[in-house]
Amino acid sequence: MKIMVSACLTGDNCKYNGGNNRTEKVLKLMEGNDVIPVCPEQMGGLPTPRVPSEICDGLVKSRDGRIVDREFREGAVKCLEIAKREQPDLIVLQSRSPSCGVNQRYDGTFSGTLTEGPGITAQLLMEGGFPLTDVEDLLVTERLILRKWNESDAENLYRYAKDPAVGPIAGWPPHQSVEESLDVIRNVFNGAEAYAICLKTDNKAIGAIELKLNGHTDMTNRDDECELGYWLGKPFWGQGFVSEAAREILRHAFEDIGMQKVWCGYYDGNFKSKRVQEKCGFHYQWTTEGLDVPLMHERRTGHVNLLTKEEWK
């Protein structure tokens, strides 16, 4: 698989202060893959180290008042040219950067205040049709990538979600079209902790996993608790992929986002889901009969399990 990545994440000392943002998950992601490191700011002609810059009123300015917009945009154009030539399967960029930030960036006041919106390079890559992943929205295991959903995943989602063996046992009907799958990506798989399960070899979505936070689950009303949900395309059953993804997202829940308890449930007869929860250390809590399954217009027996942070440790 071909990966374009902010060079600072690989350990390259190209950060504004002469350091780097080396992260173990990116190093793990790089193993066995073709890596294309880019630093738009250096590629635009800026030195390292350099005065930090932010976007202010549409222009990139350095903290000492100089306008460095041209250098940032030249670097962004060069990154886009590389992306068009190399056609990477995955692009991972550094968070909050005036160049590479995907979801947020600093607001131009040099006060540490964040604002919504991408950096210069990220914006240009998006306009060029390239799906981007913020490094903070990425989880990596030995065989899998867990990343946020993109609209370009709709065809792969439909390929597996249309199978009647997949959705109904989890409480939702098979997808009827790519358009329906696209709507699900936009309006269902848009939670703060909703991830596509992808093979590390090609970054194509083969399933879904999510931590449903307070306000999006009926299992808890606490901000330090959540519900785990998941499903996987049938061709990938029996290979331990869901257990592998679940173990990593549980680590993320307890270590990264401060969860104290994670709840998980399954409907009567879903033995595969039950087995995944047992492998991950969940313990039985209760059973509810006559549970409403609104998307399937029926009632079922549901079982609820729990894993606490202390048990996970």
CATH 3.40.630.30 fits 141-312, yes or no: yes
- Stated as kind and residue range, the H or E segment containing 90 is strand 90-93
Per-residue pLDDT of the chain (313 residues; tens, 9 = 90+): 999 999 999 999 999 999 999 999 999 999 999 999 999 999 999 999 999 999 999 999 999 999 999 999 999 999 999 999 999 999 999 999 999 999 999 999 999 999 999 999 999 999 999 999 999 999 999 999 999 999 999 999 999 999 999 999 999 999 999 999 999 999 999 999 999 999 999 999 999 999 999 999 999 999 999 999 999 999 999 999 999 999 999 999 999 999 999 999 999 999 999 999 999 999 999 999 999 999 999 999 999 999 999 999 8
Distance CA 102, CA 92 (A): 9
**Residue 109, Cβ neighbours under 10 Å: how many?**
10
Task: Please report the pLDDT score of residue 90 as a whole number.
Answer: 97
Question: What does the chain come to in residues?
Answer: 313
Give the residue from 169, 145, 132, 111 showing the smallest Cα distance to 32: 145
- Do 100 and 121 form a contact (C-beta atoms < 8 A)? yes
Residue 266 CA to its chain's centroid (Å): 24
| The predicted structure's pLDDT at residue 313 | 86
pTM of the model: 0.95
What residue has token string 């109904």? 168
Domain ranges for the chain: 2-137, 141-312
Buried b vs exposed e over 220-236: b needs ≥16 C-beta within 10 Å?
beeeebbbbbbbbbeee
> 272, exposed or middle or buried, with CB in 10 Å at 0-12, 13-18, 19+?
middle
C-alpha distances in angstroms, 188 versus 152, 180, 201, 210, 238? 15, 11, 26, 11, 26
Residue 251 CB partners (closer than 8 Å, separation 6+): none
Cα 92 from Cα 100, distance rounded (Å)? 9
Cα-Cα-Cα-Cα dihedral sign, residues 221, 223, 225, 230: positive
